[in-house]
Amino acid sequence: MKTYFITLLIPIFIGCQPPQASRQDIRFVDISHEPSSSTSDIVLGSIAKQHQSDGKKLIDVAMSDTAGFLRLGEMCETFGPRISGSENLENAIDWILLEMEKDGLENVHGEHVMVPKWVRGNESAQMIAPWKKDMAMLGLGGSIGTPPSGITAEVMVVGSFDELTERANEAKGKIVLFNVPFTNYGKTVQYRSRGAVAAAEVGALASIIRSVGPFSMNTPHTGNSHYKDGVEKIPHAAITVEDAAMIGRMAARGQMVKIKLQMEGHYEDDSPSRNVVAEIKGSVYPDEVIVMGGHIDSWDVGQGAMDDGGGCVAAWQAVKLMKDLGLRPKRTVRVVLWTNEENGLRGGNAYRDAHKASLDNHILAIESDAGVFKPSGFGFSGTDDALAILQDIGTLLTPIESGIITKGGGGADIGPIMREGVPGMGLRVEGSKYFWYHHTNADTWDKLDQDEFNRCVATMAVMAYVVADMDERLPREKTK
Amino acid sequence: MKTYFITLLIPIFIGCQPPQASRQDIRFVDISHEPSSSTSDIVLGSIAKQHQSDGKKLIDVAMSDTAGFLRLGEMCETFGPRISGSENLENAIDWILLEMEKDGLENVHGEHVMVPKWVRGNESAQMIAPWKKDMAMLGLGGSIGTPPSGITAEVMVVGSFDELTERANEAKGKIVLFNVPFTNYGKTVQYRSRGAVAAAEVGALASIIRSVGPFSMNTPHTGNSHYKDGVEKIPHAAITVEDAAMIGRMAARGQMVKIKLQMEGHYEDDSPSRNVVAEIKGSVYPDEVIVMGGHIDSWDVGQGAMDDGGGCVAAWQAVKLMKDLGLRPKRTVRVVLWTNEENGLRGGNAYRDAHKASLDNHILAIESDAGVFKPSGFGFSGTDDALAILQDIGTLLTPIESGIITKGGGGADIGPIMREGVPGMGLRVEGSKYFWYHHTNADTWDKLDQDEFNRCVATMAVMAYVVADMDERLPREKTK
């Protein structure tokens, strides 16, 4: 996920967190939710009341499901990470399309999108003075490579863009290290995004950043980065929080640190990919569409399990469970798994362009791209009238504590159609761990939890289904 | 640390753990301990009463100290990891000896020890089918290398030695993966220690293990391993918990997984190292010695901050603070930083041999090698009479909650002299995180906490000082 992040998920570290130790072996099943008994105590909205029975069915079937979570694991581990332009991604898409057909979903197809193809190649970073250390590193998405013999230079450590500006005359011929501790994603990611430009502007040979994450076990984070016309392109990479902090302290102690960087990052020709589409056609208003999904591409590390395989499979499973229950809403529910969110947003843009004529009939767009952790509800961008209706529907989700609908939210992939007037919402989830794993080799299925995943499925299923099935059409701004 | 672990630190995951997120940037200073005010409410033992004033001074000065923790950081980050036979280790020892002289400690010297020199060289592990993945890995200490072109073979996944025995006829020509989840260190480490022998005995080409740790962020763990006379030596390496678990599930889904392993591990000639020794000479019984320390060598990854730089610097700082306070006990307090604990125990054995004549006058040996987390007290191996005395002294530590002395404990480095009759004890600390970092690139200073470190210093200082200064001599078994 990317653009919409700040409004969706400011990581909050409060209170008591369960130890993570056993997650990698044991799947916890939380049996504390008791939708059957507790629903009776909950005050339902008027729309919710009309869909109480279907809502309960969806929650019950989602919360006892095992297939969706296993399917996510199978996808993650059978195809690996799914960067745009990779065989892994297209193999995963082929498999998803076949599986969706098997599920009996309707109108299953891929929609052609040309995507950029950035290839990492081999890469390494070594501290060569004052002592030798092979450092864990990841080149940042879009970075150019170094010359084959690498770039070896003294490191200049700065703690901010301002410090780089103040000490600009020291940067020439050096490798600039942005040793910026994680505060929140929106702030800290600026160094990943713009660091290479800032370093090149003052004459640096290369730019490295402290990985954008609050906690590390020698775990570098990749992610997209940018160059600027007229400014020389220099290699741009992330080292771990540990190494960046260490080099920062070494420099503060007066030690001269030298690094050798070797990278082969480069772009190849754009490559064909697809947005994945599948539906349950509406029984009364088939042309009115609730679109729901995540992005199927990922970075080229880990398994893209949280970002965003989980969001994709949760949306898919939500629709599959409607199908299994024989629930056909009045309007069409469409799953879309967008391609190329991470380094181009070509999928989201292509969807907007391909469906331009029908965007007026896109009733609501729902995206999950903050990890499939325990959900609390949705952040919604649309009219107050629409918000009130969604809050009414949200009362159906009170038994699983995921019915809070607040103002503001969306998602990177649905951004293009939201900007055309489609009301949009993003699933909100517990956010304390997401940035531990984000864009790393540790974004793997074993970190996830079946119960939390199922809550996401239930939450998306109920919301999409009721908006699709309610008598009234979700209102939106008139003029667009 | 190694041998004594099971009795010292069975990791327990209970209750509420604070989020770790900010540790890498912020040092927490816990001001909740108030030795001054709360000591008055505590029931002190009779020996403790006689040393109440000195004990309080030591706790107060240790708990407000900043120099020790910074010195640990400086050592970790100036010299890097300190494997036996490395320049890093000997450079660190040179620096420590100089610093100890500056501190005004007495009889500062190194005691010659020849140590094994295992060299990792370059290494890599790549999954090459069904999809390609460069896997984080660490060769296990003592492993031989592969041929230069590597070993490429199908993986046979087993969950135990028993399963390997049952399926022995499948192993020939394969790479065996021991995908054994962490239960406790003593049990799970068996696969690291003996895996290569077991795999070779059934005809495998190489052996890989799931890293010995309860939680991973793509973080492989190294550690020592063994071959057996008469059984072919095969390369032996650790991959991450994530990758091992994934490959286990892939195999269970019927997928054939192939790995290419390239390793250069080898032994070179034994190399000179030193046990570091420094003292405060006793004022009345200078020949009676309380020896206290940790091991100065580490694995060749991370910084050896927890294992065992922290234990070394805590013991050193404990004695330095006695010196700074002008406290000279009746008996000698000797800091020893043993070399080569990790892959040979040559330091501990050499100390025993060099001091054989004076072991009867070694009153007590104290080791810290479980990380410098919040201490709870000590585990002691000796007579019940001695235990009662140490428990009496422990009451001085009640204000900082580290005065619990229980039966059973020691340390790998003091093991050789304990087996000669010297009473021994190991510092017990909160153990929930130690094995997250143990023998990994994430064993770095930034994970530690100044307040917890200072509690270790205070605890060791008070215990060593009072045993050294009390009127009676700590009793031990007569016959030895």
The tens digit of pLDDT for each residue in B268-297 reads 999 999 999 999 999 999 999 999 999 999
Tokens of A146: 């170094």
Q: For residue B20, what pLDDT is reported? A: 37
The helix/strand/coil state of A109 is strand
The residue type of B162 is D
Q: Which tens digits make up the pLDDT trace of A123-146?
A: 999 999 999 999 999 999 999 999
Q: For residue A19, what pLDDT is reported? A: 35
The distance of Cα B166 from the centroid of its chain, to the nearest Å, equals: 35
Q: Which tens digits make up the pLDDT trace of B237-271?
A: 999 999 999 999 999 999 999 999 999 999 999 99
- Mean pLDDT score, B136-150: 98
Per DSSP bridges, beta strands A137-139 and A236-239 are antiparallel
Q: Which of B90, B279, B288, B341 is catalytic?
A: B341
For residue B42, name the pLDDT band (cuts at 50, 70, 90).
confident
Chain B contact set for A78 (CB, 8 A): 130-131, 250, 253, 255
Whether residue B479 has pLDDT greater than 70: no
Alpha-carbon gap, residue B180 to B182, rounded angstroms: 6
Residues A426 and A324 in one domain: yes
Contact A130 B78 (CB under 8 A): yes
Residues B355 and B274 in one domain: yes
Quick check: A185 contacting B, CB < 8 Å?
no
Question: How many separate domains does chain B show?
Answer: 2
Alpha-carbon gap, residue B81 to A76, rounded angstroms: 35
Residues B76 and B207 in one domain: no
Q: Which tens digits make up the pLDDT trace of B326-358?
A: 999 999 999 999 999 999 999 999 999 999 999
Q: Look up the CATH number of the domain holding residue A177.
A: 3.50.30.30
Residue after which a domain boundary falls, among B264, B279, B296: B264
* Residue B8 within any structural domain of the chain: no
For residue B40, name the pLDDT band (cuts at 50, 70, 90).
low
Q: Which helix (H) or strand (E) holds A280?
A: strand A266-280
Alpha-carbon gap, residue B480 to B472, rounded angstroms: 20
Buried b (16+ CB within 10 A) or exposed e, A192-217: bbbbbbbbbbbbbbbbbbbbbbbbbb
Please give, one letter per residue, the 3-state secondary structure of chain B: CCCCHHHHCCCCCCCCECCCHHHHCCCCCCCCCCHHHHHHHCCCCHHHHHCHHHHHHHHHHHHCCCHHHHHHHHHHHHHCCCCCCCHHHHHHHHHHHHHHHHCCCEEEEEEEEEEEEEECCCEEEEEEECCCEEECEEECECCCCCCCCCEEEEEEEECCHHHHHHCHHHCCCCEEEECCCCCCHHHHHHHHHHHHHHHHHCCCCEEEEECCCCCCCCCCCCCECCCCCCCCCCCEEEECHHHHHHHHHHHHCCCCCEEEEEECCEEEEEEEEEEEEEEECCCCEEEEEEEEEEECCCCCCCCCHHHHHHHHHHHHHHHHHHHHCCCCCCEEEEEEEECCCCCCCHHHHHHHHHCHHHHHHEEEEEECCCCCCCEEEEEEECCHHHHHHHHHHHHHHHHHCCCEEEECCCCCCCHHHHCCCCCEEEEEECCCCHHHHCCCCCCCHHHCCHHHHHHHHHHHHHHHHHHHHCCCCCCCCCCC
Alpha-carbon gap, residue A411 to A380, rounded angstroms: 10
Q: For residue A404, what pLDDT is reported? A: 98
The answer to whether the CB of B385 falls within 8 A of the CB of B397 is: no
Query: Phi and psi dihedrals of B286, rounded to 5?
Result: -65, -20
Question: Using CB atoms and an 8 Å cut-off, which of residues 324-383 of chain A contact chain B?
Answer: none
Question: Using CB atoms and an 8 Å cut-off, which of residues 241-270 of chain A contact chain B?
Answer: 241-242, 245-246, 249-250, 253, 255
Residues B302 and B434 in one domain: yes
Residues B452 and B372 in one domain: yes
Peptide bond before A162: cis, by omega within 30 degrees of 0?
no
Cβ neighbour number for residue A98 with a 10 Å cutoff: 11
Say how many CA atoms lie within 13 Å of A7 toward its Cβ: 16
Residues B251 and B309 in one domain: no
Chain A contact set for B21 (CB, 8 A): 11, 13, 182, 214-215, 432, 436
Whether residue A391 has pLDDT greater than 70: yes
Task: Report, in this order, helix, strand and coil percent for chain A, each rounded to 5.
Answer: 40, 25, 40
A353 sits in the region (left: phi over 0; alpha: psi -120 to 50; else beta) called: alpha
Alpha-carbon gap, residue A87 to A99, rounded angstroms: 18
Whether residue B14 has pLDDT greater than 70: no
Maximum Cα interatomic distance, chain B, rounded to a whole number of Å: 73
Contact residues for A471 (Cβ-Cβ < 8 A; gap 6+): A50, A330
Contact A246 B19 (CB under 8 A): no
- Mean pLDDT score, B439-452: 98
First-to-last C-alpha distance (Å) of chain B: 27
Quick check: A445 contacting B, CB < 8 Å?
yes
* Residue A14 within any structural domain of the chain: no
Q: What is the DSSP letter of A370?
A: S
For residue B313, name the pLDDT band (cuts at 50, 70, 90).
very high
The answer to whether the CB of B234 falls within 8 A of the CB of B174 is: no
Alpha-carbon gap, residue B149 to A467, rounded angstroms: 60
Q: Which tens digits make up the pLDDT trace of A90-125?
A: 999 999 999 999 999 999 999 999 999 999 999 999
* Residue B10 within any structural domain of the chain: no
Average per-residue pLDDT for chain B: 92
Q: Which helix (H) or strand (E) holds A352?
A: helix A346-354
The residue type of B406 is T
Q: Which of A279, A341, A367, A430 is catalytic?
A: A341
With tokens 């392993």, the residue in question is B261
Alpha-carbon gap, residue B434 to B307, rounded angstroms: 9
Residues B156 and B255 in one domain: yes
Q: Which tens digits make up the pLDDT trace of A340-389?
A: 999 999 999 999 999 999 999 999 999 999 999 999 999 999 999 999 99
- Mean pLDDT score, A407-425: 98
- Mean pLDDT score, A287-300: 98
Chain B contact set for A130 (CB, 8 A): 78
Q: Which tens digits make up the pLDDT trace of A217-237?
A: 999 999 999 999 999 999 999
Domain containing B279: what range?
Answer: 32-118+269-469
Residues B316 and B362 in one domain: yes
Chain A contact set for B74 (CB, 8 A): 253
Alpha-carbon gap, residue B195 to B202, rounded angstroms: 11
Residues A277 and A292 in one domain: yes
Residue after which a domain boundary falls, among B206, B240, B264: B264
Q: For residue B102, what pLDDT is reported? A: 98
Contact B24 A432 (CB under 8 A): no
Alpha-carbon gap, residue B88 to B69, rounded angstroms: 20
Instruction: Look at residues B377, B425, B379 and name the one whose alpha carbon lies nearest to residue B401.
Output: B377
The distance of Cα A203 from the centroid of its chain, to the nearest Å, equals: 34
Q: What is the DSSP letter of A440?
A: S
Residue after which a domain boundary falls, among B212, B237, B264: B264
* Residue B352 within any structural domain of the chain: yes
Chain B contact set for A73 (CB, 8 A): 249
Q: Which tens digits make up the pLDDT trace of B211-240?
A: 999 999 999 999 999 999 999 999 999 999
The answer to whether the CB of B444 falls within 8 A of the CB of B412 is: no
Q: For residue A40, what pLDDT is reported? A: 55
Strand partners, B123: B263
Alpha-carbon gap, residue A327 to A329, rounded angstroms: 6
Residues B72 and B55 in one domain: yes
The helix/strand/coil state of A111 is strand
Of B23, B242, B440, the CB nearest to A446: B242
Cβ neighbour number for residue A130 with a 10 Å cutoff: 15
First-to-last C-alpha distance (Å) of chain A: 27
The answer to whether the CB of A265 falls within 8 A of the CB of A235 is: yes
Contact A17 B13 (CB under 8 A): no
Chain B contact set for A432 (CB, 8 A): 19, 21
Q: What is the sign of the dihedral through the CA atoms of B46, B50, B56 and B61?
A: negative
Instruction: Look at residues A475, A468, A105, A57 and name the one whose alpha carbon lies nearest to residue A282.
Output: A468
Residues A126 and A202 in one domain: yes
Contact B246 A181 (CB under 8 A): no
Query: Phi and psi dihedrals of B164, rounded to 5?
Result: -65, -40
Chain B contact set for A181 (CB, 8 A): 24-25
Alpha-carbon gap, residue B264 to B287, rounded angstroms: 48
Counted across chains A and B, CB pairs separated by less than 8 A come out at 140
Q: What is the DSSP letter of A53?
A: H
Average per-residue pLDDT for chain A: 92
Alpha-carbon gap, residue A411 to A398, rounded angstroms: 23
Alpha-carbon gap, residue A378 to B68, rounded angstroms: 49
Residues A361 and A229 in one domain: no
Contact A24 B78 (CB under 8 A): no
Alpha-carbon gap, residue B424 to B446, rounded angstroms: 30
Q: For residue A2, what pLDDT is reported? A: 47
Pick A39 or A11 by higher pLDDT. A39
Tokens of B16: 């509420």
Contact B17 A17 (CB under 8 A): yes
Contact residues for A255 (Cβ-Cβ < 8 A; gap 6+): A130, B78
* Residue A226 within any structural domain of the chain: yes
The answer to whether the CB of A259 falls within 8 A of the CB of A125 is: yes
Contact residues for B196 (Cβ-Cβ < 8 A; gap 6+): B140, B143, B207, B225, B226, B227, B233, B234, B235, B236
Question: Using CB atoms and an 8 Å cut-off, which of residues 112-171 of chain B contact chain A?
Answer: 130-133, 136
* Residue B25 within any structural domain of the chain: no
For helices A67-79 and A450-469, the axis angle rounded to 10 degrees is 110
Q: Look up the CATH number of the domain holding residue A50.
A: 3.40.630.10
> In the structure, how many helices (H) and strands (E) does chain A have?
15, 16
Quick check: B38 contacting A, CB < 8 Å?
no
Alpha-carbon gap, residue A180 to A207, rounded angstroms: 13
Contact A442 B249 (CB under 8 A): no
Contact A253 B136 (CB under 8 A): no
**Chain A residue with minimal CA distance to B215?**
A21
* Residue B305 within any structural domain of the chain: yes
* Residue B2 within any structural domain of the chain: no
**Chain B residue with minimal CA distance to A81?**
B133
Helix residue ranges, H only, A122-202: 161-166, 185-201
Q: How far is CA B358 from CA A405, B286, B287, B351, B363, in A?
A: 75, 12, 8, 11, 10
Alpha-carbon gap, residue A299 to A143, rounded angstroms: 14
Q: What angle do CA A58, A63, A69 make, to 5 degrees?
A: 110
